[in-house]
Homo-oligomer: A and B are copies of this chain.
């Protein structure tokens, strides 16, 4: 059931001042394990350590506990997601194109990093809350772009409400298509879904 422990090729020990490198390697490994399992429950200390080619004990030089490691890995994934979205937002000047680019980046992230996506948005993290609800930053980005789009359209809908509509629908598409993807005839092309979403929610240039 579990993938072989994979002792990894013999790791070279990090030089003196740079022990923090392992921290990043562990976060990478943990996020990747989440990505593979799509769940947080099987990402154990031992599995993460093995994936990083290190003994379980080494984890405790960088994280206080198993829980601490998981939290850090989730936040790490959120950062990656936020960067992807920010990159998409910066890729276009026109508000319509910017919103479209963000939509495509969202779908792509969900497709390419399914496990991470699920851990962030779908599988609720069964960990005690620690910091601010992270990931809301990305939502604020969305609201900002939607505000621009509505202004350009001369549309007086509430940007937050429209943003929630966009987000919920996007999430439904990527989450359901991901988890029930084994029924191939059922699903239309995701890009078609996305295009229809734009039409239905009227967030493209006005047709007159």
Please report A residues at the B interface, Cβ cutoff 8 Å: 37-39, 41-42, 118, 121-124, 126, 129, 133, 136, 139, 160-161, 164-165, 167-173, 175-180, 182-183, 186-188, 193, 196, 200-201
Contact = CB atoms under 8 A, between A and B. Distances in A.
Contacts of A173: 168, 172
Contacts of A176: 121, 167-168, 171
Copies of this protein, total: 2
| Interface pairs A-B: 5 shortest CB-CB | A172-B172, A168-B172, A41-B41, A171-B172, A124-B179
Contact of A172 (B169, B178, B182): B169
A19 to B, nearest CB: 31
B169 A168 contact: yes
A188 B175 contact: no
15 contacts: A39-B39, A39-B41, A41-B42, A122-B123, A133-B180, A136-B183, A136-B186, A160-B186, A161-B188, A161-B196, A167-B172, A167-B176, A168-B173, A172-B172, A172-B175
Nearest to A37: B126
Contacts of A124: 38, 118, 178-179
A188 B164 contact: yes
Nearest to A162: B196
B121 A182 contact: no
A128 B2 CA distance: 14
A149 to B, nearest CB: 16
B193 A164 contact: yes
A165 B179 CA distance: 16
Contacts of A167: 172, 176
